Amino acid sequence: MSLRARVTTLLIAFVLVVGGAVFAVIEWITPQPQVEDYTPYASGGQVNVTLQTAAQTTVTDKPQWVTYFVMDPATHQWVHTTYFKVPPATRVNVTIDGYDGCTPLRNPVWGRVTGTIGGVEYVNGKPVSQLNSWSGCNIQHTFAIPELGINVPIASPTTLKQNKNLCSTSPCSPSSGPRQVVTFSFVTPAQGGTYRWQCFIPCGLAYLDGNGGPMATLGYMSGQMEVGA
Ligand SMILES: [Cu+2]
């Protein structure tokens, strides 16, 4: 190989490596979902956190992806993120406005409520300790923090008619489609830390085994709970 060819090859290789690194930084590291900080809003040892699920993410460049949103505690606007911060040793009262339709669980064990106060979740105000998605169309996603033993199945609309008339522009509101309101509480650990949470239903439709896309990208079907002062 001539010197010129060698230098050219080297330059091309160099550009590819640098380009790859720049791509990695921009694509995977920079777009960290923003953290909604609930810590200033805690009082009397409790804090209220509000999320929603939606069948699509029309506010991003991935409009077909299922997603969670977190409510900004200051403005009460929905923010497209799955990161939130709460204080340690505090009772977190979670409300999840579920606007998506049903997808059966792969394993019925994810239909059991674990790690919450009283071992229950409230579906539209009614306490339940388990949802059986194999007996009916009744679960859309799950909210789980494995490190804290927390698993909560999110109830879905149960009728075909409701499932065909879901909210189609997200973030959703009560007037934009059928909604199931799921509430539950748990206590954050006394020591701070970062706790990953995720949905365990392979709800990334059109992806291999349903586990790609929104299931594999932070800010959609997974996120983190920061525990700190
Ligand atoms: Cu999901």
Summarised one tens digit per residue, pLDDT across range 190-226 is 999 999 999 999 999 888 889 999 999 999 999 999 9
Model pLDDT for residues 57-85, shown as the tens digit of each residue: 999 999 999 999 999 999 999 999 999 99
Question: Can you list the positions of beta strands (E) in the chain?
Answer: 35-37, 46-54, 67-71, 78-79, 83-86, 91-98, 121-123, 126-128, 139-145, 150-155, 180-187, 193-198, 222-227
pLDDT band at 17 (very low <50, low <70, confident <90, very high): confident
CA 140 to ligand 1 centroid distance, Å: 7
CA 102 – CA 106 distance, rounded (Å): 13
Compute the distance between CA of residue 101 and CA of residue 54 in angstroms, rounded to an integer. 9
* Averaged pLDDT of the chain: 93
Q: Pairing mode, if any, of strands 180-187 and 121-123? A: antiparallel
CB atoms within 10 A of CB 2: 7
Domain borders along the chain are: 1-30, 34-227
Q: Ligand 1 centroid vs 207 CA: distance in angstroms?
A: 13
What's the 199 CA to ligand 1 centre distance in angstroms? 5
pLDDT of residue 220: 96
What's the CA-to-centroid distance between 215 and ligand 1, angstroms?
7
Interior angle at CA 34, CA 201 and CA 177, nearest 5:
50
Q: How far is the CA of 158 from the centre of ligand 1 (A)?
A: 16
CA of 46 to the centre of ligand 1 (A): 27
CA of 100 to the centre of ligand 1 (A): 9
Alpha carbon of 21 to ligand 1 centroid (Å): 31
Give domain 34-227's CATH architecture: Sandwich (2.60)
DSSP state of 192: -
Question: How does pLDDT run across 105-147, given as a tens digit for each residue?
Answer: 889 999 999 999 999 999 999 999 999 988 889 999 999 999 9
Taking 70 as the threshold, does the pLDDT of residue 11 lie above it? yes
Rounded to the nearest angstrom, the distance between the alpha carbon of 210 and the centre of ligand 1 is: 9
Cα distance between the two ends of the chain: 62
**What is the arithmetic mean of pLDDT over 21-40?**
79
Q: With 90 as the cut, is the pLDDT of residue 5 above it?
A: no
Q: How confident is the model at residue 99 (pLDDT cuts 50, 70, 90)?
A: very high
- Say how far apart CA 224 and CA 195 lie, in whole Å: 6
Distance 116 CA to ligand 1 centre (A): 19
| C-alpha of residue 15 to centroid of ligand 1, in Å | 39
pLDDT at 121: 98
Tell which wins on pLDDT, 30 or 96.
96
Non-local CB neighbours of 199 within 8 Å, separated by 6+ positions = 68, 141, 142, 143, 144, 215, 221, 222
Sheet (strand 83-86) strand order: 35-37, 83-86, 222-227, 193-198, 139-145, 150-155
Centre of ligand 1 to C-alpha 196, Å, is 15
Q: Is the pTM of this model over 0.95?
A: no
Regarding beta strands 83-86 and 222-227, do their DSSP bridges make them parallel or antiparallel, or are they unpaired? parallel
CB 46 within 8 Å of CB 90: yes
Q: How far is the CA of 19 from the centre of ligand 1 (A)?
A: 33
